Amino acid sequence: MDGILRAYADPASRAVDRAFPLHRAGLHSLSDESLAAHLDSATVLFDLGQKTVVRLSKDLGLKGGGNVLPCEAEVLRIVASKPGIRAPRVHRSFQVADDTRYFCTMEYTVVDYINVRSTSR
């Protein structure tokens, strides 16, 4: 029996030859709010409930949503600092005010895009 929640991924998000909304050079010139807006417009790598991951560029992804916690970025930073463990590097982590959310904020994390196949199939 299928559950109510089903993960979604756009197959085009893994293409290497498509145009993406952002290149690494432009990352630090964008405000938090304009970067967060890409969560609704960029190609979806993964979406389930209130967690979404989109592809910003050939090398970057953006994770965000109402259920994304600030500690997730910190955990990734700690794991990535350990020798011999491959983990995406956190390039930026921030919160944007959102009165529609329970805690009145949404968390966003910009990380390295690592092309791997899903193990859930």
Q: Cα separation of 69 and 36, whole Å?
A: 15
What does each C-alpha distance from 21 to 7, 24, 38, 69, 70 come to in angstroms? Answer: 23, 10, 8, 25, 24
Q: What is the CATH number of domain 20-112?
A: 3.30.200
Which pTM value belongs to this model?
A: 0.79
User: How do residues 1-26 score in pLDDT, each as one tens digit?
Assistant: 355 667 767 777 777 667 777 755 57
pLDDT at 75 exceeding the cut of 60: yes
Q: Who has greater pLDDT, 85 or 16?
A: 85
